[in-house]
């Protein structure tokens, strides 16, 4: 596991780089070794705001445990409230880079893969838990969808992953750039696997194992409205 570091500091927020195999926030009381724990040592005020979940302090959004990249923390309650409203309004944009590998067979539990479209294109679905311990998710097509308590929507609508660029590497690999405004657990990982291109080293979704073994998914850019100036901000790696 690498070492986190501050990418941008502002009086109202701070953006950190999270290495892979680190939780963003504690899952239980007094848990150490999370990105919030690290950020709180550098900027103690990020521990004070209270958002939608207890124990998360000023954490604005999460990355999966295995995913690397940019994470935003609010340094005061007003800024956290401002960011959470932006998320609800679909104004908080995240971009990702992923290295993927071609796979011919669709894994169990997936619907028929969507047709490939000209770049850019969107993948849309609801999600449901899947597999032992419900550790995975599967896309759910929303046409003629029966009501079920385990199916998750984005405020009643499908979750959307937009594929911005697709650059072929070898015959079986590619580099993908994707973006989303609001995300569900494993959303990009699941959507790319649905296309037949799971992320390298993604053992949950059938990704090809490569040297290093690290999940080849990185959050490379955040775009939002600055809570102090009300102007657009983009921070990229």
Q: Are residues 85 and 187 in the same domain?
A: no
Q: Which helix (H) or strand (E) holds 86?
A: helix 77-88
Copy the structure tokens of residue 124.
């849309």
Asked if residue 108 is part of any domain, the answer here is yes
Copy the structure tokens of residue 218.
């990185």
Copy the structure tokens of residue 20.
């892979």
Last residue of a domain, one of 29, 60, 89: 89
Q: Are residues 48 and 22 in the same domain?
A: yes
pLDDT in tens, 123-181: 999 999 999 999 999 999 987 666 667 899 998 889 999 999 999 877 778 999 999 99
What single-letter DSSP state applies at residue 178? E
Which CB contacts under 8 angstroms, 24+ apart, belong to 224-228?
224/72, 224/83, 224/86, 224/91, 224/92, 224/93, 225/82, 225/86, 225/91, 226/10, 226/12, 227/12, 227/13, 227/74, 227/78, 227/79, 227/82, 227/83, 228/10, 228/11, 228/12, 228/79
What does pTM read for this prediction?
0.93
Q: Are residues 147 and 109 in the same domain?
A: yes
Asked if residue 233 is part of any domain, the answer here is no
pLDDT at position 147 is 61
* CB 123, CB 117: distance < 8 Å: no
pLDDT at position 142 is 83
Give pLDDT < 50 ranges for the chain: none
pLDDT at position 103 is 82
Q: Are residues 82 and 102 in the same domain?
A: no
pLDDT at position 145 is 65
Q: Are residues 158 and 176 in the same domain?
A: yes
Q: Are residues 102 and 85 in the same domain?
A: no
Last residue of a domain, one of 89, 114, 131: 89
pLDDT at position 132 is 93
Q: Are residues 101 and 124 in the same domain?
A: yes
Look up the domain containing 73 and give its range. Answer: 5-89
Q: Are residues 52 and 138 in the same domain?
A: no
Q: Are residues 72 and 44 in the same domain?
A: yes
Neighbours of 130 (CB within 10 A): 19
* CB 36, CB 47: distance < 8 Å: yes
Give the CATH number of the domain where residue 41 resides.
3.30.2350.10
pLDDT at position 198 is 95
pLDDT at position 200 is 95
**Torsion angle (degrees, nearest 10) of CA 164, 230, 60, 64:** 10
pLDDT at position 146 is 60
Q: How many domains does the chain have?
A: 2
Neighbours of 72 (CB within 10 A): 22
Asked if residue 223 is part of any domain, the answer here is no
Q: Are residues 103 and 194 in the same domain?
A: yes
Asked if residue 231 is part of any domain, the answer here is no
Q: Are residues 108 and 129 in the same domain?
A: yes
């Amino acid at each position: 596991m690498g070492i986190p570091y501050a990418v941008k500091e502002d009086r109202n927020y701070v953006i950190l780089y999270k290495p892979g195999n680190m939780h963003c926030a504690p899952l239980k009381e007094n848990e150490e070794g999370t990105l919030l724990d690290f950020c709180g040592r550098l900027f103690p005020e990020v521990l004070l705001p209270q958002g939608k979940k207890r124990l998360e302090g000023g954490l604005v959004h999460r990355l999966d445990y295995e995913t690397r990249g940019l994470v935003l923390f609010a340094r005061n309650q007003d800024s956290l409230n401002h960011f959470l409203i932006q998320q609800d309004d679909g104004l908080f944009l995240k971009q990702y880079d992923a290295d993927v590998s071609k796979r011919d067979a669709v894994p169990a539990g997936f619907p028929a893969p969507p047709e490939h479209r000209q770049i850019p294109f969107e993948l849309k679905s609801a999600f449901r838990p899947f597999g032992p311990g419900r550790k995975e998710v599967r896309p759910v097509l929303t046409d003629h969808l029966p009501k079920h308590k385990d199916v998750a929507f984005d405020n009643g609508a499908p979750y959307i992953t937009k594929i911005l660029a697709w650059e072929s590497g070898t015959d079986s690999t590619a580099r993908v750039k994707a973006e989303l405004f609001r995300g569900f657990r494993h959303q990009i990982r699941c959507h790319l696997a649905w296309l037949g291109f799971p992320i390298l080293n993604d053992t949950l979704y059938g990704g090809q194992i490569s040297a290093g073994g690290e999940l080849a998914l990185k959050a490379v850019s955040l775009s939002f409205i600055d809570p102090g100036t009300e102007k657009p901000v983009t921070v990229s790696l």
